[in-house]
Structures are given as structure tokens and as C-alpha cells.
Amino acid sequence: MTAPIWAGARRWTLVLPGVKPLSTNEVYGKHWAVTRRLVKPYKDAILQQATGGRIPKLERFTVVLHYAPTTARGAQRDLDNIHATLKPCVDALKKVGAIVDDNAARYRPSVPVIHPPTGKPGRLWLEVIDLTDPATTEKETT
């Protein structure tokens, strides 16, 4: 089996608020003000944790959303639906300058990871992974 492309890459873990991810069903088709209110806590958490150069400006990257639900029912979430949590987080990374852009040339989308239920309050976190090849970066800067 081949190791993932990001094996050994630099990574940063950012903790998200709340005990469950947003669902696409909660935000899709809603008035923009409702959507903005729903995603604000997630964006604010990323802005607060990534500000001040904690994450250097990444040329190429991926972001993995992790969810550890409280119960088995929470673990049955639809992976597509929890992408509603991921998008505002990536937008916040761009706003704070931690990523150059989130276009297809720079951002490799990932599948969220739903961990087994813990019986404890649910947890959400984001893993930002640098996919910039150090050898390529050195050549580009010299």
C-alpha cells in the first residue's frame, strides 16, 4: 500500500467550536444572513488560531476535517453534508494569509474523517497539511 502524498508533511491542528459539524442541509438555500450567522463561529475559530503567522503562507495544501461524535448516530453522518463546515474554514485560512489561494492548482480537496464515537462530548478539528515540495520551493526562491 502506498503512503498518502502528505506522509511526513508539515501539519497544523486547529480546534473548531461546537460538538457537531454543520450540515449542507442547514445552510443550502438559506438567506445569506442566516448562512453567515451559522458559519461565523467556525470562521472566527480559524481566524483566531491561524492569525499572526502561526501557519506560514502555503503554496499547496490540503485540509482534513475531523469529527469525533458522541454517539454512534453521529458517526452515521453523510460525508458530503459535513463539507458545509470545511468551506468557511478554508475561506478563513485564505483571509488570514495562511494559504495563497484555494483554487484547484493549490488546494487538494480531501474527504472528512469521522472517528468512532467516544461517549464524550463531540469534537471537531481541522488538520492543515502543507503539500509544497521543499525541493521545488527552494528552486523557486533561488
Task: Give per-residue burial for 11-37: e unless 16+ CB within 10 Å, then b.
Answer: ebebebeeebbbbbeebeeeeeeebee
Block residue for cell numbers 503554496:
59
pLDDT band for 141, please (50, 70, 90 cuts). very low
Q: How far apart are CA 134 and CA 120, in angstroms?
A: 39
> Structure pTM?
0.83
49-92, pLDDT tens digit by residue?
A: 998 889 999 999 999 999 998 888 766 677 777 888 999 999 99
Strands 113-114 and 11-16, by their bridges, are unpaired
| Euclidean distance between CA atoms 50 and 41, whole angstroms | 14
